[in-house]
């Protein structure tokens, strides 16, 4: 059961959040996979792209950050995000943002 509350919900009446507050142990993969976010972990690049103003590296998010959750992603953007997620190399631990990301998000 998902007990994590979103930071806020959209005004469209969809009940789906437009923002998400990061909690300890979260990753973009886990957040994207949540039923009320995208329900597909492979869509995590959509979160990274929507939050490039505050994220330099998709592996480095911090508890308390509030991420935008875009609800206007077209099917082409979703397909591209899924492919980028599949093309991204496996996670390698690091503590600072990488100078060059493994692929162009």
Q: Which fold has domain 8-87?
A: Membrane-bound Lytic Murein Transglycosylase D; Chain A (3.10.350)
The overall average pLDDT reported for the chain is 89
Pairing of strands 66-68, 17-21: antiparallel
Domain positions in the chain: 8-87
For tokens 């980028």, the residue is 84
Phi and psi, residue 92, nearest 5°:
-125, 120
Residues written for the chain: 105
Q: 18-34, pLDDT tens digit by residue?
A: 999 999 999 999 999 99
pLDDT band at 1 (very low <50, low <70, confident <90, very high): very low
pTM of the model: 0.83
């Amino acid at each position: 059961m998902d007990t994590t509350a979103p930071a806020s919900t959209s005004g469209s009446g969809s009940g789906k959040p437009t923002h998400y507050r990061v909690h300890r142990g979260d990753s973009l993969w886990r957040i994207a996979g949540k039923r009320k976010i995208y329900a597909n972990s492979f869509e995590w690049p959509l979160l990274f792209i929507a939050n490039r103003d505050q994220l330099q590296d998709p592996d480095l998010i911090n508890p308390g950050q509030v991420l935008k959750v875009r609800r206007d992603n077209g099917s082409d953007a979703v397909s591209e995000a899924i492919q980028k997620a599949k093309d991204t190399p496996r996670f390698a631990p690091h503590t600072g943002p990488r100078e060059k990301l493994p692929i162009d998000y």
